[in-house]
Structure 1
Amino acid sequence: MTTEHIDDSAWISDKDSPVVARLSQLISALTNLTMETTEDLQVANYGVGGHYSPHFDFYHVTIQFIRRSCQIFCFRSGNRIATWLTYLSDVELGGATVFPMVDGYIVPKKGSAAFWYNLYASGEGMIFLRFIALN
C-alpha cells in the first residue's frame, strides 16, 4: 500500500456514461480544448483522512521518478495540458486543494469547478502548480 495517496478512485469514459460524455462536452466548450485525446474521467473520494501527497498534474522526466506506468501513459495520451476538477460534495471539516508554492487553496463546494493549465505553450511544466488534495 502506498501513502502517496489514500482514496477510492475509478476511471469512467464518455462511452460508459452519458453524464460523463455531457460533462466532457461542457468542459470542451468552456476551455476551448478538445477532449478527443484526454484521459478518461477520474472520480476520487478521499473520505475521512484521505489525501493525495504533493504532486504535479503533468509528467516531467527530470522531476519525477520514471515509472513504467507513467511512461506508458505519456506515450498513449501525451502530457496533461490542463486540469479540470469538479467538486461533487461539500466538506464539513477540512478538505481542500492546496497549492503551497503560491500560498493558495480551493475549498470544495458542491457543484463548483476549478481549471488550470499545467504546461506553458513551450510544453514545459508549471512547477509552481504542485498541489495537494486534503480531506
Structure 2
Amino acid sequence: MKQMIYTPNRNNKGEILAAGDYKNFKYYVVSVGTHPCAYVDVSNTSLANKDYCENDIDCHGGLTYGRDYLSALDTEKTNGKWYIGWDYAHYGDYMPNSYISMSGVHINMFGVYEEWEKRWTTEEIVAECKNVINQIVDKEGM
C-alpha cells in the first residue's frame, strides 16, 4: 500500500496506491496527483452497465464514475468489466492546485481560507471501499 502524495498537477492515467479483494469484489485506490479516487469492480452485479447516477450507493461525495475500464489499470476497454467510483475532490477536501497565495494567505477556489481541509489517507479510502462493498453485498443479497 502506497500513501497518497498530493501534487499540483493532475495525472490522467493515475497511480494505483492500493488494490485488494474484499468479499469477492476487487477495489482500487488511485492517485491522480491532485486528489485520490476509489473504484470497485461491480461487473457481476446489477450495478454493471448503468449510469453511476442510477446506483444508490453512499460514499464520499457520491458516485462520480461508471465505466467499462480504469485508465490506471487498462489501456483499452476490457470485455465484461464495469467499475463504479468516487473521488476525493469536493468542498472540504484538500487539493493543492485550488490555492492562490497572496502575502502568505492561502485562499481556496471558493475564496475562503481553509485550514481544516482533509488530506485523505490510503487506509481511510480502503475502509470506504469496504463500506461500499458491504452496501453492494446487502443490496444484491449476496
Same fold (TM over 0.5): no
What is the TM-score of this pair, normalised by structure 1? 0.29
Higher helix share: 1
Pair member with larger Rg: 2
